[in-house]
Structures are given as structure tokens and as C-alpha cells.
Amino acid sequence: MAMTNRKMRAMLASAKGAARAASTIGGIAVGAVGAVGSIYEGYTLNDGDEFAALDLVGPAAPRGKYFPTRTYGAGARGSDGALGTMFDTDPLFTGHMDSNRGVPAGFSNMSLSASVLTLQSRKATSGEQAHMALASGVVRNEVSAMISGAGAMYWYPGVAGTEDVIFEARVRMSSGAPAGWHPTVWVQSLTPVQPIESDEFDHEGTSLGAKFNKNLWTGGSTTASSSGTRFDHDGQWHTISFIFNKTNARRYIDGVLNGTLNGGNDKDKPQYPIISSHIFNPTFDGDTYSQSAWNADADGAQIDVDWIRVWSRTGKQSFAPIISVNDVNVDYGSSVTFTLPSALAIWGDASVSEYLQVVYNEENEPGVSHAAIYSQFPAGVSYNSGTREVTVNITSGRTGRLNFVLAGWKAGCAGRPLRFAVNVGPVPVVPELGVAGESVNIDLYALQDCGVLVTNGASKTKTIAVTGLTGSGLSYNDATGRITGTAVAGTYTVQVTVTNSVGQSKSASASKTIAATFNPATESKIVEWWDANDNATVFSDAAATTQAVAGSSSVQAFIGKKLGAALANSVGAQTPEYLTDANGKKSIKFVTANNDYLFTTNSTVVSEMTGDDNPFTIIAAVKRGTPSVSGTPWSCSPDAGTINNYIRGSFGGTNNVGFGRNVNNTLVQNQSADGLVTADHWYTVAWIFEGQTVTIRVEGVVVLNQGSLNGPAMTINRMSLGGRYDDSTNAYTAAVAFGGAYGEVFLMDGTVTSADSKVGVAEAYLMAKWTN
């Protein structure tokens, strides 16, 4: 009868015959009616999954069934708060910000065997941690796993008795799990997936068992409620069933009622499923996370999923697209507009309600950062539901893929969404090439942004071609992604062409000069120059009488090589260390927890940083440490006052770089995109303040340009490395202390602009010298 009904609807809707093929889920055929006397009586099985395949969204699989990430919140694979020790992984993942360079990183804690999906949480190996995002600068301890059904299936609970919907999962949850495990089978409102206004229902667990909880999200805040008794994990298979309608939500365990909550669809929206094997820190429902317990248990804990099913009242139809929409390609910085087919053409029914959104999957996608995501669309994307026109024009931030999800529904019905992608083309960058005679090793791969479009699922398919290096002594190797060689003086017109995994190509050309010589000591635009690798300028006492010994001395004085300006500090507990780096060069290491700092009041230095809009440039070879929640690598400020005035550089825990300028309690600050300055890696970073604009460059590439800095002139009395001096309290602010190392620092004068060739030459000098 069910198949006959589908054929009838197909004829009436002109194309509905493309409805999904019959299958069996948990031993019951799709389209079968529920058994009399069971919770399924009066329902028809409409959808679900037997997990015959591990069907995931990935860099080379835009239409995979399940998103393996936190589509609903900032921090795609782990927040910096309660989920800050864990990191969601999957077999398709090429590492955070493509750290494994187009090749899946080899995570194995999500797997499929004999049609059983396993989502494992366990201690991460050091090799795995290399491809995981930090949490507020701290290395995460565990891997975890999840699936989000935001692109797979949904249902719309309506009136009780006629428009109820059942969602259920047959799962097995580990017993005896390490403390802090947070396994959950849950549902959430689909429109949009970010829970600003959402119903959330959870079979929500600790390491001991799971309760039936509800979070009603309003304006991004939640009202929580709970019902039923905790169901303890016993390592056995159980069926967790939810029955939803607008009046209430009920949880059944193996067909037995265990909890009823008021309001099963308060937000009047379709819902979608999520299953997550997460780790909660510090405490959830009395279960306090124990890192030592996770470290001691190699297997950790896991959810096994046999199947999931969706039932609706018998007679209620299900909706699935009967046509497809092709993916669309557009260049970064260009606009494309296309028109979706009509609702009738897509669903076979013109009267369905619809909602179109972009669902994010990774942090290296347009409109996404580690700290924030969009709601329905990222900036640059719009949809006119009247004309059905979609416009995409990404002009800032990341490039890569946009995952579009269109849902169509009626009350009491289940459905599957229409899926398509817009691929935003690559952004090529031509780097500085070094100084003559220097050994060059430029990571060109990391500088070229393709977002997630880097792989065919097995190997790197992001390709880079470079021309114009003839005679420069340099060459590019696409296997390594690096420009290497010994630089030869001259001016070269260099072209970089980047092609992503879907075949979009873009070229950029620039004239680059390799200077015959560059001597910071004689360069007129360099006011002062500090070089940690010159042991003769680093001292273990503030009076600069005892030369520091790398590996055994703290640094109380760091002397400039042009003016002799002493960056000093006699407070021994807050002085940085002198070390020999892995690259063989000596550096000065600042520790966040110690609030380490060095400062100078040299009149020439502070005068250069004083004036209307404070024009000056700092270029530094600097390494962010681990951990480093947020840091002030350098600052300048008045020496005494009642207002906390300052200018500072900043590094964020999400691997970004930024600045702040606070004058008379008027603060202007901003940060670059995430993932540009990772921990334990040398970078050449330039902060260029010119008039009312600041430009920040990393490895010679502009990552931030911010205007509107106009404000009262600020008199500077001290320049500091490693911290921010608060002139209202006459103390360094521990909350923004720097964690990391300095190799070399240039202070350049106020005549320097972001277009000044001297900046590029200075950057090239440091980039060639401070390699990883």
C-alpha cells in the first residue's frame, strides 16, 4: 500500500516517482506500518539509516550524508570551554587548517564495521595532536567523534495524535568509561542549525548513564528541564526512542516510557538528529572530568550505532528532492547569482514550507573562525525567497566550499534536504623572496588559501605553479610546496598559479626584488634593532654586565644594536629565558604564567612611537608558544596616568594576529582570520601603523588592514616586549601576558608605509634567517 501511495503521489506531483527506494532499517521495511500494541502503532517507518557505508561530508565529499563536526556551534571540532579537552575527528579530515597538506591525517576513532558505526573518545596520540586545533592555546588531550544529521534528514512534529513523529536510535554505550565522557543521542531545530532559537532534546550522558533533558534556546540562552530516571550504561544494545509533538516529548528505552517533557516543538521548526561521543570538562551532572583517567585508558569509551529510524503518522507523506541542483563555482572576490528550481519542481508539492541555509563543516571555510560562526548565511551570501535567487560574493576571510542545505516540510512529515555546494576559488599570494646570499625556504603551500578544496580524498590535489624565478637562485617544488635555494640579487616578475581540488585556478603576479645587501645597522629607516641570536647583546643582569648563557640564564637586559636601547627588567620572577632554538639560533622565551616582560624608556625609541596617530612599524621574528591563550608580544604606553592607554600587538588563542589601540578609553582593536600563526612556529610579522590605518603582514602577506584609528595623540614613555603595561595601575597585565619567543625585532620610523619596499626587504631578511 505504501508503494502504491508513493506512485500515486508521483503522478499527481508530475515527478514524485523519484522518491527514495525501499529499504530495511532495523529489520523493518521503509513504508511498513508499526506493530499493533507497540509504540509504533499508527505510525509508518519513513526514513533512517542502517549505516551500510560511512557516508560523511569531507573535503572531497560535499554531499556526504552526515557532517562529522559541530555544525551547531563555534569551534567546528571542539569548543574552547566545556569541550576544550577534546577534538572531533573523522577518516576524511586532512588536519586542522589542512595541517596534513591535502592528505587525510589518519584518525581512526570513527569507524564502520559490519554496518555498525563506532564513535570513540580516547586519549590522543602526539601524532594526532599535531593535526588538532588548540583550545585557547592549549593542546587538546583527547580525540572524540560525532555525526550531525543537518544535511541528512529531518522531521516536523505537529499536533498531538495526528502529527507526532518518532526518532530513535539503537545504540550501545560503554560501561566503566573515564570520568567526563559525554555521550548523547539528541535532536535540535534545523532552521537554522545554530541554536539561537531552538528546541534541543537529549538522551544526555555522563560516564555513568544518560538522562532525558531539554534545552529551550531563546536568544542564544537556554532554559533547561529534565524528566525520567538516569539510564545507566551497561555495554549492551538498547533502543532509545523519542516521540515528539507540539504538546510534549517522551523518551522510551527499549519500548518503556522513561520521561515526559512539556513542549515537543516549542519553536515550531523541523528537527534533525545528532549523535556525539564527547568529553565534558569540568563537571556535568556530577561527573567531573579526569584527565588522568583518560590518559590511563587506551580504549576510552565509545558509542556503537546499529541504526537510526524516523517514523511519522500513517498517511503522512515524506519529502525528498526529486531533482538535483548542480554545484556552482565562483572566483574569490567575484559575484555569482543563480536561481533555484521551484518548490514544485524540487518537492513535487508547491505548498511545502522551505528554509535555505549554509551549514558549515570546517573552520577553513568562508565566513568562519574558531571563535564565531554565522547563523543562516555567512557574509557575502544572500537568498531572495520570492525570486529564489541565490547570490554569493565572498570578498573577505577564507575561501573554499559553502555547503547549502534546503529543507522542505509539512507538519507531521519527515524529509531529506536538497544539497548543493558553491565552491569559492583560491587566493594566490606571491611572497617576498629573501636577501641575496641567504638560504631561502618559503612554505608556499601554506600561504595559498584553497579552504577545504585540497584533496581527492586520498592525496593532495591542490597544486601550485610558479614562474619567473629564473636567475633568482630559487626554485619551487610542488611535492614539498616550498620555494628553496640561495637568493641572487635582482628584480623578478613572479607569477603564482593555484588550482584547487575542483579545478578552479587563479594567478597572481608581482615584481619582487631580492636586495643585494640588507644591513639593519645601516638602514636609515630602522630606528632600533634587537637580535637575540647575538649573544653579546643579551645579559642576565639589568645593568648589562653579565652576558647571558643560552639554556641556563634568564634575560634581564636585551640591548639594541643601533642606539643601544636596553629592553630590561630587574624583577627576576618576571624575566624571560635565554634558549637555543631547534633551528640552532638563540632566542628569548617569554612564559605567560610568569608574566615575563622587558621594557625600554629610551628617548629615541619612545619618541618614534609618540605623535598624532602614532606612526611606526614593528617587524619581528616571533614564535607563539604552547600554551598561549592570548598574548601581547609587544606594547607601548604612557608610563603613568589614570587611564589605561596603550598600543599593542596581539596573538589570539585561535592562532590569529591582531592589534589594539586604546586612547582615553576609546578602544579600536581587530584580529586576522584564524589559523595564520600556529604555535611553536617561527613567523615574520609586521605591524605597520601609518596615519589612521594599521596593516598587519605575516610572512610578507597582508592579513589585516584596519582604518579609522583616528584619535587623540598619545605620548609614549615605554616600549615593552612580552606584556602590556597598564599606566593606570603601574603594572603589567597578567591576563594578556605573552607566551612565546623572540628572535629579532626591528623598530622602523614613521615614514614607512605598507607599500614601502624596505618593509619587504626587512621581512625577507628575517624570513630567510628565522626558519623552522
Indicate whether this model's pTM tops 0.75. Answer: yes
User: SS3 for 338?
Assistant: strand
∠215-221-226 over CA atoms, to 5°? 20
Ordered DSSP codes for 100-148? TTTS-----SEEEETTEEEEEEEEPPHHHHTTS--BTTBPP-EEEEEEE
Region 699-727: mean pLDDT is: 85
Region 268-284: mean pLDDT is: 98
- 717/575 same-domain check: yes
pLDDT at 766 over 50: yes
pLDDT band of 721, cuts 50, 70, 90? very high
Lowest mean pLDDT among 50-64, 210-224, 252-266, 602-616: 602-616
pLDDT at 11 over 50: no
pLDDT in tens, 182-197: 999 999 999 999 888 9
pLDDT in tens, 139-183: 899 999 999 999 999 999 999 999 999 999 999 999 999 999 999
- 611/475 same-domain check: no
- 566/500 same-domain check: no
Residue 54 is predicted with a pLDDT of: 97
First vs last C-alpha separation in the chain = 68
- 454/357 same-domain check: no
- 613/756 same-domain check: yes
pLDDT at 46 over 60: yes
Region 444-470: mean pLDDT is: 97
More confident residue, 727 or 85: 85
Residue 379 counted as domain residue: yes
- 473/324 same-domain check: no
- 399/506 same-domain check: no
Region 12-40: mean pLDDT is: 73
**Residue carrying C-alpha cell 570513540:** 120
pLDDT at 15 over 70: no
Which structural domain range is residue 14 located in?
1-45
pLDDT in tens, 655-689: 889 999 888 878 888 888 877 888 888 999 999 99
pLDDT band of 629, cuts 50, 70, 90? low
Residue 310 counted as domain residue: no
Region 319-339: mean pLDDT is: 98
- Here the CATH number for the domain that contains residue 387 is 2.60.40.10
- 607/479 same-domain check: no
Residue 660 counted as domain residue: yes
Residue 718 counted as domain residue: yes
Region 628-635: mean pLDDT is: 78
Ordered DSSP codes for 459-517? SB--EEEEE--TTTTEEEETTTTEEEEE--SEEEEEEEEEE-TTS-EEEEEEEEEEBS-
Q: What percent of the chain has pLDDT over 90?
A: 78
pLDDT in tens, 739-753: 999 999 999 999 998
Contacts of 367 (CB under 8 A, 6+ apart): 358, 360, 373, 374, 377, 378, 379, 380, 381, 394, 397, 398
Residue 542 is predicted with a pLDDT of: 95
Please give the Cα distance from 682 to 594 (Å, whole number).
22
Residue 7 is predicted with a pLDDT of: 35
pLDDT at 351 over 70: yes
Lowest mean pLDDT among 392-401, 637-646, 738-747: 637-646
pLDDT at 17 over 60: no
Give Cα separations from 701 to 280, 382, 448, 591, 658 (angstroms).
38, 30, 10, 28, 14
- 617/764 same-domain check: yes
Residue where a domain terminates, one of 514, 534, 553:
514
Contacts of 64 (CB under 8 A, 6+ apart): 55, 56, 57, 58, 151
Residue where a domain terminates, one of 514, 545, 577:
514
Q: How many domains does the chain have?
A: 4
pLDDT in tens, 197-225: 999 999 999 999 999 999 999 998 999 99
pLDDT at 726 over 60: yes
Region 583-600: mean pLDDT is: 93
Residue 54 counted as domain residue: no
Region 255-271: mean pLDDT is: 97
Lowest mean pLDDT among 39-53, 646-660, 742-756: 646-660
Please give the Cα distance from 338 to 392 (Å, whole number).
9
- 706/637 same-domain check: yes
Residue 561 counted as domain residue: yes
pLDDT at 19 over 60: no
pLDDT at 517 over 50: yes
Residue 232 counted as domain residue: no
Please give the Cα distance from 588 to 649 (Å, whole number).
17
Residue 12 is predicted with a pLDDT of: 31
Region 562-569: mean pLDDT is: 96
Residue 444 counted as domain residue: yes
More confident residue, 501 or 710: 501
- 643/591 same-domain check: yes
- Here the CATH number for the domain that contains residue 657 is 2.60.120.200
pLDDT at 613 over 90: no
- 534/501 same-domain check: no
Residue 723 is predicted with a pLDDT of: 87
pLDDT at 92 over 60: yes
